[in-house]
């Protein structure tokens, strides 16, 4: 697919950004025989590998051990949590990230792409400044991702952002988390699990705006069960310091004194000072690069993939975009991803996983049958942590009986939801779920034994307000095969 005049450029393709999207795009394109350059100014693997998904999950796992050690006592173990060694966790995490960085560079190397550890900026639509060197390319892909937004309030600089949480020299004893999205929820649970006192300050009534309302309600209960103090519909006015302590002031209510303020209020696309104007590339009011369905910008030879386009800001979507683009440009292969049904997880404690439509979204399209179950999983019958519930929900289009959405909070939810998302992408109906034989005793078998409809959802309404959850057998419903 490389055109003959491409030979007058240094590269057929140049990728700005060595994160998940950029590395995938670069190495697949190089594998197809394209001459590929890729520049990364900070760390190979980008946010996900270095200061996002991967280290976050390791830290969440560390926090989970506390509950598991305590749970084991109910099973006869004389186990005690003792002290947690934060620097040891951070050092172990750093060693793993260093290993992954090397793998990313090797992947590029073995694919035959040229890696530049430098900043790249546009000089014109085909020319870049890469660490002071002029480099030309027939096509250029922007894959610079995003960065955490900072609180724009007096003293906002006293709050850390997610980039910093992975390198804290010591574990804070008290944390004020600002925000109610993915990052806020995950790190609130992580810090609480490691023994910190956590205050979660949200401007909404429930966390995770945009998620299914029942799931949001269940999550709020789970956060409280973890000992997290939730401050609903509350806005931070200013942050002051007093020695090492931080004092968080609100528009209403008493201030909170804490060791760490963590601002988790969303992310901004990284397009500033990329020189996009020199290339004529258009961004939206939020700084995200505007692209069409094929990731092309308004300049036909310049593309953008991943979080810099601010659409579905998830790593697997970014890598899918990078892969698809490289295949299309250099191998004439069209890939087909189900981007309208992307499953996602929030690594709270217990975790959340979801795929497809929420109840409100489904109801807005037409009548939907809603099936819910809430139970104490088998482990917690003996562990004594009865407040740690599992909640599952299926949303079914009443007319076609196709399953439109599946939502869960509970142990192993993300591991289960990957399989459920395949079923939804295959167009599974409720009957397909019903005729599937369960695996016993598991929580997962509840997905195929949900027999009693909880309610019918119709029209624009507030499902949370009307929810009457079934709790058929309070203890061990799923694993004992008596739920649903
Ligand atoms: P989110 O967009 O998920 O959430 C931002 C939160 O901050 C919302 O609760 C929002 O409230 C609140 N907020 C925004 N501005 C302010 C403000 N000025 N003052 C107070 N609160 C504010 O962002 P995150 O940073 O949590 O995560 C960024 C993205 O990264 C996610 O959307 C997701 O795509 C990705 N991510 C995915 C993860 C996963 O897959 N497990 C994990 C972590 C991140 P409101 O609802 O009112 O707007």
| 403 contact partners, CB below 8 Å, separation of at least 6 | 356, 394, 395, 396, 397, 423, 424, 428, 429, 430, 432, 433
Rounded to the nearest whole angstrom, what is the distance from the C-alpha of residue 148 to the centroid of ligand 1?
9
Using DSSP's 3-state secondary structure scheme, residue 326 falls into helix
Is 480 contained in some domain?
no
Q: Determine if ligand 1 sits within 6 Å of the CB of residue 314.
A: yes
Q: Determine if ligand 1 sits within 6 Å of the CB of residue 414.
A: no
Q: State residue 41 phi and psi, 5-degree precision.
A: -95, -15
Rounded to the nearest whole angstrom, what is the distance from the C-alpha of residue 253 to the centroid of ligand 1?
24
Residue at token pair 């104007």: 277
Is 471 contained in some domain?
no
Rounded to the nearest whole angstrom, what is the distance from the C-alpha of residue 159 to the centroid of ligand 1?
15
* Domain finish residue from 337, 352, 387: 337
* pLDDT of amino acid 483: 30
Q: How confident is the model at residue 31 (pLDDT cuts 50, 70, 90)?
A: very high
Protein residue with its CA nearest to atom 13 in ligand 1: 265
Index of the ligand 1 atom closest to the CA of residue 180: 9
Q: Determine if ligand 1 sits within 6 Å of the CB of residue 204.
A: yes
The tens digit of pLDDT for each residue in 391-445 reads 999 999 999 999 999 999 999 999 999 999 999 999 999 999 999 999 999 999 9
Residue 474, pLDDT > 80, answer no
Is 288 contained in some domain?
yes
- The token duo for 130 is 């890469």
Looking at the fold, whether 169 and 241 belong to one and the same domain comes out as yes
Q: Determine if ligand 1 sits within 6 Å of the CB of residue 35.
A: no
CA dihedral 310, 312, 313, 314 (to 10 degrees): -160
Is 323 contained in some domain?
yes
Is 467 contained in some domain?
no
Looking at the fold, whether 176 and 51 belong to one and the same domain comes out as no
Q: State residue 25 phi and psi, 5-degree precision.
A: -60, -45
Contact 309, 269 (CB under 8 A): yes
Looking at the fold, whether 144 and 209 belong to one and the same domain comes out as no
* pLDDT of amino acid 464: 47
Is 477 contained in some domain?
no
Rg over alpha carbons for the chain, rounded to the nearest Å, is: 24
For the domain that residue 166 is a member of, what is the CATH number?
A: 3.50.50.60
Looking at the fold, whether 350 and 427 belong to one and the same domain comes out as yes
CA end-to-end span of the chain = 55
Q: Determine if ligand 1 sits within 6 Å of the CB of residue 483.
A: no
* Domain finish residue from 295, 319, 337: 337
The tens digit of pLDDT for each residue in 293-352 reads 999 999 999 999 999 999 999 999 999 999 999 999 999 888 889 988 999 999 999 999
Looking at the fold, whether 369 and 325 belong to one and the same domain comes out as no
Residue 26, pLDDT > 50, answer yes
* pLDDT of amino acid 459: 81
Q: How do beta strands 174-178 and 260-263 pair? A: parallel
Looking at the fold, whether 346 and 328 belong to one and the same domain comes out as no
Q: What is the pTM of this model?
A: 0.94
Index of the ligand 1 atom closest to the CA of residue 315: 40
Among 182, 249, 269, which residue has the most ligand 1 atoms within 8 Å of its CB, making it the best to mutate? 182
Is 468 contained in some domain?
no
Q: Determine if ligand 1 sits within 6 Å of the CB of residue 115.
A: no
For residue 415, the tally of other CB atoms under 10 A from its CB is 12
Rounded to the nearest whole angstrom, what is the distance from the C-alpha of residue 395 to the centroid of ligand 1?
25
Looking at the fold, whether 11 and 132 belong to one and the same domain comes out as yes
For the domain that residue 397 is a member of, what is the CATH number?
A: 3.30.390.30
Using DSSP's 3-state secondary structure scheme, residue 467 falls into coil
Range of the domain at 73: 4-148+269-337
Q: How confident is the model at residue 1 (pLDDT cuts 50, 70, 90)?
A: very low
* pLDDT of amino acid 462: 46
The Cα–Cα gap between 457 and 395 comes to 9
Residue at token pair 């724009």: 152
Rounded to the nearest whole angstrom, what is the distance from the C-alpha of residue 262 to the centroid of ligand 1?
12
Q: Determine if ligand 1 sits within 6 Å of the CB of residue 208.
A: no
Residue 477, pLDDT > 90, answer no
* Domain finish residue from 238, 265, 292: 265
Looking at the fold, whether 52 and 133 belong to one and the same domain comes out as yes
Looking at the fold, whether 229 and 374 belong to one and the same domain comes out as no
Catalytic residue among 5, 147, 407, 440: 440
Q: Determine if ligand 1 sits within 6 Å of the CB of residue 203.
A: yes
Q: Determine if ligand 1 sits within 6 Å of the CB of residue 176.
A: no
Q: What proportion of the chain, given as a percentage, has pLDDT over 90? A: 90
The Cα–Cα gap between 462 and 481 comes to 31
Index of the ligand 1 atom closest to the CA of residue 182: 26
Looking at the fold, whether 417 and 356 belong to one and the same domain comes out as yes
Rounded to the nearest whole angstrom, what is the distance from the C-alpha of residue 65 to the centroid of ligand 1?
26
The tens digit of pLDDT for each residue in 233-260 reads 999 999 999 999 999 999 988 999 999 9
How many domains, in total, are found in the chain? 3
Q: Determine if ligand 1 sits within 6 Å of the CB of residue 316.
A: no
Judge whether 431 counts as a catalytic residue.
no
Residue 181, pLDDT > 50, answer yes
Rounded to the nearest whole angstrom, what is the distance from the C-alpha of residue 266 to the centroid of ligand 1?
4
Is 465 contained in some domain?
no
Looking at the fold, whether 17 and 129 belong to one and the same domain comes out as yes
The tens digit of pLDDT for each residue in 443-467 reads 999 999 999 999 999 987 544 434 4
Looking at the fold, whether 275 and 258 belong to one and the same domain comes out as no
CA dihedral 378, 382, 386, 392 (to 10 degrees): -10
Among 50, 181, 205, which residue has the most ligand 1 atoms within 8 Å of its CB, making it the best to mutate? 181
């Amino acid at each position: 697919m490389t055109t003959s005049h491409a030979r007058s450029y240094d590269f057929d393709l140049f990728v700005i950004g060595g994160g998940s999207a950029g590395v995938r795009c670069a190495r697949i394109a190089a594998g197809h025989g394209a001459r590929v350059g890729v520049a990364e100014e900070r760390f190979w693997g980008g946010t996900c590998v270095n200061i996002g998904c991967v280290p976050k999950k390791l830290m969440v796992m560390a926090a989970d051990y506390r509950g598991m050690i305590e749970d084991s006592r109910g099973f006869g173990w004389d186990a005690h949590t003792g002290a947690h060694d934060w620097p040891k966790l951070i050092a172990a995490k750093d060693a793993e990230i260093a290993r992954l960085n090397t793998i990313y560079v090797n992947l590029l190397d073995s694919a035959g792409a040229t890696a530049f550890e430098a900043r790249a900026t546009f000089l014109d639509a085909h020319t870049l400044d890469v660490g002071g060197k002029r480099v030309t390319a027939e096509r250029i892909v922007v894959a610079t991702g995003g960065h955490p937004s900072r609180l724009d309030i007096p003293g906002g600089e006293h709050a850390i952002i997610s980039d910093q949480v992975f390198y804290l020299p010591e574990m804070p004893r008290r944390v004020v988390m600002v925000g109610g999205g993915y990052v806020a929820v995950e790190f609130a649970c992580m810090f609480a699990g490691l023994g910190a006192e956590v205050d979660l300050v949200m401007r909404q009534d429930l966390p995770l705006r945009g998620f299914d309302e029942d799931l949001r309600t269940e999550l709020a209960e789970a956060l409280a069960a973890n000992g997290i103090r939730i401050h609903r519909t509350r806005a931070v006015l200013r942050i002051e310091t007093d020695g090492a302590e931080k004092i968080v002031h609100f528009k209403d209510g008493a201030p909170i004194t804490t060791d760490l303020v963590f601002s988790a209020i969303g992310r901004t696309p990284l397009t500033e000072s990329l020189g996009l104007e020199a290339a004529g590339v258009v961004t939206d009011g939020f700084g995200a690069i505007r692209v069409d369905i094929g990731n092309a910008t308004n300049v036909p030879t310049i593309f953008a993939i991943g979080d810099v386009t601010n659409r579905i800001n998830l790593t697997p979507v970014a890598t899918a975009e990078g892969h698809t683009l490289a295949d299309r440009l250099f191998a004439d292969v069209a890939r087909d991803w189900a981007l309208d049904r992307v499953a996602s997880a929030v690594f709270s404690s217990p975790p959340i996983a979801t795929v497809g439509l929420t109840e409100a979204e489904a109801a807005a399209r037409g009548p939907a049958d809603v099936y819910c179950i809430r139970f104490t999983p088998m482990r917690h019958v003996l562990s004594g942590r009865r407040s740690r519930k599992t909640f599952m929900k299926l949303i079914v289009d009443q007319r076609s009986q196709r399953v439109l959405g599946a939502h869960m909070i509970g142990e192993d939810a993300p591991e289960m939801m990957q399989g459920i998302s395949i079923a939804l992408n295959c167009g599974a109906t409720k009957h397909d779920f019903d005729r599937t034989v369960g695996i016993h005793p598991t929580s997962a078998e509840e997905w195929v034994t949900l027999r009693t409809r909880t309610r019918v959802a119709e029209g624009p309404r507030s499902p949370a307000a009307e929810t009457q959850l079934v709790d058929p057998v309070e203890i061990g419903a799923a694993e004992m095969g008596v739920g649903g």
